[in-house]
């Protein structure tokens, strides 16, 4: 088990969310589903905790109830090698009710925030002469356009 594991709080749809994420990312799987027993504060048989892997990284999802919601204060970055990967993850994660944001950010249909970015963004933004032009282009975008970023 990895030393630090993201633990995500859902309101009744943790298993649905885990299955969705596993369908989006390669090298992913549901590892274990622990269900609420009779007499618990949730319906018996509903998933309580879902252990799953995304891209080989472990995550846990809890059906904890309506008390807490996701915010942009926590997001997951998906590093993409090319525009095809950016397009793939953008399309999949915004499907079914997800919402595009600015500068490569989006919220999926469960309200979790993601940043879909090219692996070259660090190089593009580290050049002090180029960075202002790249930033100006990025600020105009929702889904990132790698060619426009590289041409800036």
CA angle 69, 116, 113 (to 5 degrees): 5
Domain at 75-151: CATH code = 3.10.180.10
Domain boundaries, the chain: 7-63, 75-151
Q: Tens digits of per-residue pLDDT, 57-84?
A: 999 999 999 999 999 999 999 999 999 9
Q: What is the pLDDT of residue 58?
A: 97
Q: What is the pLDDT of residue 111?
A: 98
Q: What percentage of the chain carries pLDDT values higher than 70?
A: 99
Per-residue pLDDT band for 48 (boundaries 50, 70, 90) equals: very high
Q: Tens digits of per-residue pLDDT, 14-46?
A: 999 999 999 999 999 999 999 999 999 899 999
At the second CATH level, the architecture of 7-63 is: 2-Layer Sandwich (3.30)
Residue pair 149/134 in contact (Cβ under 8 Å)? The answer is yes
Q: What is the pLDDT of residue 1?
A: 66
DSSP H helices, the chain, are: 14-24, 83-94, 121-126, 131-138, 146-151
Query: Rounded mean pLDDT of 98-120?
Result: 98
Residue 66 backbone dihedrals phi, psi, to 5 degrees: -85, 5
Q: What is the pLDDT of residue 2?
A: 82
Q: What's the pTM value of the predicted model, to 2 decimals? A: 0.94
Pick from 127, 90, 96, 93: nearest CA to 112: 93
Cα–Cα distance, 99 to 101 (Å, whole number): 6
């Amino acid at each position: 088990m990895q030393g630090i594991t993201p633990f995500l709080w859902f309101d009744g749809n943790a298993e649905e969310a885990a299955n969705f994420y596993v369908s989006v990312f390669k090298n992913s799987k549901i590892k274990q589903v622990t269900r609420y027993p009779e007499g618990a504060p949730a319906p018996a048989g509903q998933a309580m905790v879902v252990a799953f892997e995304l891209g080989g990284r472990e995550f846990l999802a809890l059906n904890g109830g309506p008390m807490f919601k996701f915010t942009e204060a926590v997001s997951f970055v998906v590093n993409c090698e090319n525009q095809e990967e950016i397009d793939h993850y953008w399309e999949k994660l915004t499907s079914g009710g997800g919402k595009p944001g600015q500068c490569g950010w989006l919220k999926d249909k469960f309200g979790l925030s993601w940043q879909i970015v090219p692996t070259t963004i660090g190089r593009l933004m580290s050049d002090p002469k180029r960075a202002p032009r790249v930033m100006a282009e990025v600020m105009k975008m929702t889904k990132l356009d790698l060619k426009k970023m590289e041409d800036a």
